Amino acid sequence: MIYLVLFWEYFKVGLFTIGGGYAMLPLVTQIVTKHNWLTEQQLIDFIGVAESTPGPFAINLATFVGNTVGSATSLGVFGGILGSLIATFAVVLPSLVIIIVVTLLFDKFRSNRYVRGALKGIRPVVVGLILSAVFTVAAKVILPEFDFKHIRADGVSQFNWISLIIICVFAPLSQIRIQGKKIHPICLILLSAVIGIVLFGAFRLQQ
């Protein structure tokens, strides 16, 4: 039964990857090619879509893989929906159980000296990880060819100056207070989509 295989494989993905959606990618690639669910090219094509559509990257990917696997069965469209439901559920299930248990333990032991000590060390690490995400995301936007892990001279060959301008406009915009309230991040995202269409659209039409 292909749905059981799908469930089991995605359950393992959810259980064994630490560090978020992008850390799942190698395991997903391996599974998908092992079962011949998708070709590697199909997967690479979809990664671009999964990044640019709303929702966490890994969930988008799981939904897509599940849909493709399910659609290939005799159930057709219904099978596709069933497949994406199963893959998403499977990847989320370990989180659900683990987080509940860890949160309970955390609340119970948070006053313990050593747990507090460990947290004192882990909190800065997590903040450091967020800072590294800042640089990764910024580089992806401004210098699409640049890779911090393999720095090469041609990494700066492409420079996206329109993105840089948008960043420079949104940095102060996100701090402005109107009647004591900051602009909601969701409004900022919607606004940035409009600006993107206007600027890049105009730029592309000109070319």
Partner 1 sequence: MKQNKQQRNNDRRVSLWQLFWTLFKTGLFTFGGGYAMISILEEELVSKKKWMTSQDMLDMLVIAESTPGVIAVNTATSVGFRMRGVLGAVVATIGVVLPSFVIITALSYFIQAFADNLWYKAAFTGVQACVTILVVNAFVKMFRQLERGWFSALLTVAAFDIALFTDFNVIFLILIGGIFGILYVVIADAVIAKRNKSLPLEQSEIIEEQPRDNDERTDGSSHNGGDR
Q: Which of residues 56-85 bind partner 1 (CB under 8 A)?
A: 56-60, 63-64, 67-68, 71, 80-81, 84-85
Neighbours of 82 (CB within 10 A): 19
Bridge partner residues of 178 (DSSP) = 181
CB of 203 to partner 1, least distance (A): 8
Rg, the chain, Cα only: 21
Q: Tokens for 95? A: 């989180």
The DSSP secondary structure of 169-193, one letter per residue, reads: HHHHHTT-EETTEEPPHHHHHHHHH
Give the x-and-dash track for 130-169 against partner 1 (CB under 8 A).
xxxxxxxxx-xx------xx----------x-xxx-xx--
CB of 20 to partner 1, least distance (A): 4
Tell me whether residue 35 or residue 140 sits nearer to partner 1 (CB atom): 140
Distance of CA 141 to the CA centre of its chain: 15
> In this chain, which stretch among 1-9, 16-24, 31-39 interacts with partner 1, using CB under 8 A?
16-24
**What residues between 18 and 47 interact with partner 1 by CB under 8 A?**
18-24, 45-46
Instruction: Please give the torsion angle defined by the CA atoms of residues 123, 16, 136 and 173, in that order, rounded to the nearest 10 degrees.
Output: -60
Give dist(CA 122, CA 44) in Å, integer: 34
**What residues between 181 and 200 interact with partner 1 by CB under 8 A?**
182, 184-186, 188-189, 191-197, 199-200
Question: If you ran DSSP here, which 8-state letter would residue 156 be given?
Answer: G
Nearest Cα to Cα of residue 3 among 78, 59, 58, 103: 78
- By CB under 8 A, how many residues form the interface with partner 1? 102
Tell me whether residue 5 or residue 164 sits nearer to partner 1 (CB atom): 164
Q: Tokens for 32? A: 């998908």
Q: Alpha carbon of 102 to those of 105, 125, 137, 155, 178: distances in Å?
A: 5, 19, 29, 41, 39
Rule CB under 8 A: say whether 170 interacts with partner 1.
yes
Give the x-and-dash track for 87-126 against partner 1 (CB under 8 A).
-x--xx-xxx-xxx-xx--x------xx-xxxxxxxxxxx
Q: List the one residue from 6, 10, 14, 32 that touches partner 1 (CB under 8 A).
A: 14
Tell me whether residue 19 or residue 36 sits nearer to partner 1 (CB atom): 19
CB of 207 to partner 1, least distance (A): 11
Tell me whether residue 31 or residue 166 sits nearer to partner 1 (CB atom): 166
